[in-house]
A and B are shown apart, each in its own frame.
Chain A
């Protein structure tokens, strides 16, 4: 990895334009715009609701009579509206707009078609479809069985566990930040950093040979990186199958324990009612998922800063 960020004048703008104008990269350029926009929109609504909540908390009398949303409402107004026409006209409008966007997009940009498939000519870089590039980027940090199989499975199971481990009754059906800091913070970290950011790195940063190219750096197909991939135990001069095995196991346990301990202390201090509400099993699952996400981050940082290949080496698998 070259660590020097090229000055703007030295940037290869042709390379930048090539990458962002690839038809298949357009969705990631869209993501770069849409993700910040919708996160901003959600937080704008959340701030309004949080202000309203603060106002109602301060004034119990108002809380009894207020309609409890930030949208205008007067006494006597119906609480519901007819689906026809109020919802259906909007749905129709959305269909028209999406159709127009899709047709214009399709007229302006052609779907890519490369040469016919040729098993003897490897594409360099050969990349998965853009929405899987986060997982492909994880291949830099983990063996394929973790990056390609275990982590995606845990992501799916973790997502499915969310409604059963989030026992906070607040924020059901409205945007809020102050009432759900841990849940929203964790989810957005997972989505924006551990998924979207990795997709962006996999698309724009990883060039030939899956090497790291800073934005504006020319993709040099002949570049060779002389990296010393080292396992963590080699930093400490540990040798022999079992010492290495227990060193790795110990390191991961200590990391997990530290992350879990710090998180537990924070939750105890800042969110005592979260602890009270959760069953032992719910708390365990939450902690395991949280620790695993953080361990992935630790491995990414170790790899990018110290070029650590594995932290836990065993005769059967490496982590």
Chain B
């Protein structure tokens, strides 16, 4: 809008300044706007504290935010060092979130049934916009998550972080390690290609040799187990890897194990806080002090 457009009506009404000037006097500077915005009911209803960098506000930023409140307000000054934590636990969790998002998107394109499953993967690779990238991110994210889980475990062991009072949380961690690998394993079958089929065949063939519960395991046949009622049959929903196995893998992969793992993760993170945040870097202990313990 230019000045000449707006001059006329102003002069008719006898205003001294043009409308533009009037309007401009009402326009607020960004800093004023910013200030007023934070006075509004809407803003105040969302954000419960000021934003300046006072220690109080910085604590409130963490404590009053549902996503950040897993953190304490303050931590050991050296606990943020990469050399100490390697960041592996956090990266593992981030990869899990990433896998949940890409996995959900993949589910929109996937039918867990024979014939359709493989076709859907081809469809993802060649037709769905960014489908190939999506699938690749899910696959490599899963592999990366297995590696970061292992490395997280190595770090926790090397820093003795399973020692009192964190013994129980180490056990939750071992279960999460198991579930991470099972998540990856159940996902392996879903493309329904030769790779997944034979990998899962090899993997579940071990189950038929389970002692007592498998039809080829020690004391299994003696107890009446056959290929049609043993533990492998329960896993696959059949005596061979077929349509039922695909559906079961899909449900374990997309629903059951993610829920179990999420519950364990909640416990895991909760216990990290309740056991006094991460273990260190703690002051070193001398021999004389160890002898007293």
Instruction: Determine if B83 and A45 form an interchain contact, defined as CB atoms under 8 angstroms apart.
Output: yes
Instruction: Determine if A80 and B199 form an interchain contact, defined as CB atoms under 8 angstroms apart.
Output: no
Give min CB distance, B12 to chain A, whole Å: 57
The interface size bin for chain A is: 35 or more
State which residues 169-227 of B face A: CB under 8 Å: 170-171, 174, 177-178, 181, 184-185, 188, 191-199, 201-203, 205-211, 214, 216-219
Give min CB distance, B164 to chain A, whole Å: 7
Q: Report B-chain residues with C-beta under 8 Å of the C-beta of A117.
A: 118, 192-194, 196-197, 241
Q: How far is the CA of A137 from the CA of B144 in the complex (A)?
A: 22
Q: How far is the CA of A118 from the CA of B167 in the complex (A)?
A: 46
Given that A117-B193, A171-B160 are known contacts, is A80 also in contact with B178, CB under 8 Å in the complex?
A: no
Q: How far is the CA of A162 from the CA of B198 in the complex (A)?
A: 35
Main secondary structure of the interface of B (DSSP, over half): helix
B136 within 8 A of A: yes
Q: Report A-chain residues with C-beta under 8 Å of the C-beta of B163.
A: 163, 166, 168-169, 171-173
Instruction: Determine if B291 and A80 form an interchain contact, defined as CB atoms under 8 angstroms apart.
Output: no
A114 within 8 A of B: yes
Interface-located stretch among B1-9, B260-268, B274-282 = B274-282
Out of A57, A111, A112, A187, name the residue touching B286 (CB < 8 Å): A57
Instruction: Determine if A132 and B203 form an interchain contact, defined as CB atoms under 8 angstroms apart.
Output: yes
Give min CB distance, B87 to chain A, whole Å: 5
Given that A27-B144, A42-B154, A156-B174 are known contacts, is A147 also in contact with B81, CB under 8 Å in the complex?
A: no
Instruction: Determine if A131 and B181 form an interchain contact, defined as CB atoms under 8 angstroms apart.
Output: yes
Q: Report B-chain residues with C-beta under 8 Å of the C-beta of A174.
A: 159-160, 280-284
Q: How far is the CA of A273 from the CA of B290 in the complex (A)?
A: 10
Out of B78, B87, B164, B279, name the residue touching A71 (CB < 8 Å): B78
A221 within 8 A of B: no
B105 within 8 A of A: no
State which residues 41-90 of B face A: CB under 8 Å: 55, 58-59, 61-62, 68, 71-84, 86-87, 90
A122 within 8 A of B: yes
State which residues 123-157 of A face B: CB under 8 Å: 123, 126-132, 135-136, 143-145, 147-150, 156
A184 within 8 A of B: yes
A298 within 8 A of B: no
Instruction: Determine if B192 and A145 form an interchain contact, defined as CB atoms under 8 angstroms apart.
Output: no
- List 6 A-B pairs, Cβ < 8 Å: A69-B281, A70-B281, A82-B59, A109-B140, A149-B210, A169-B293
The 9 closest A-B pairs by CB, nearest first: A148-B206, A173-B282, A173-B280, A68-B283, A163-B167, A106-B136, A117-B197, A144-B209, A126-B198
Q: Which residues of A contact B (CB under 8 A)?
A: 24, 26-27, 30-31, 34, 38-39, 41-42, 45-46, 49, 52-53, 56-57, 63, 67-71, 73, 77-88, 90-91, 94-95, 98-99, 102-103, 105-107, 109-119, 121-123, 126-132, 135-136, 143-145, 147-150, 156, 159-160, 162-164, 166, 168-176, 179-180, 183-184, 187, 191, 273, 316-317
> Beyond the given A52-B284, A110-B136, could you list 14 further A-B residue pairs with CB under 8 A, ordered by the A residue number?
A27-B144, A34-B151, A67-B283, A71-B78, A94-B91, A106-B137, A126-B199, A136-B202, A145-B218, A147-B206, A163-B168, A168-B163, A187-B157, A317-B211
Q: Which residues of B contact A (CB under 8 A)?
A: 55, 58-59, 61-62, 68, 71-84, 86-87, 90-91, 94-95, 98, 118, 121-122, 125, 132-133, 135-141, 143-144, 146-147, 150-151, 154-155, 157-164, 166-168, 170-171, 174, 177-178, 181, 184-185, 188, 191-199, 201-203, 205-211, 214, 216-219, 240-241, 279-287, 290-291, 293
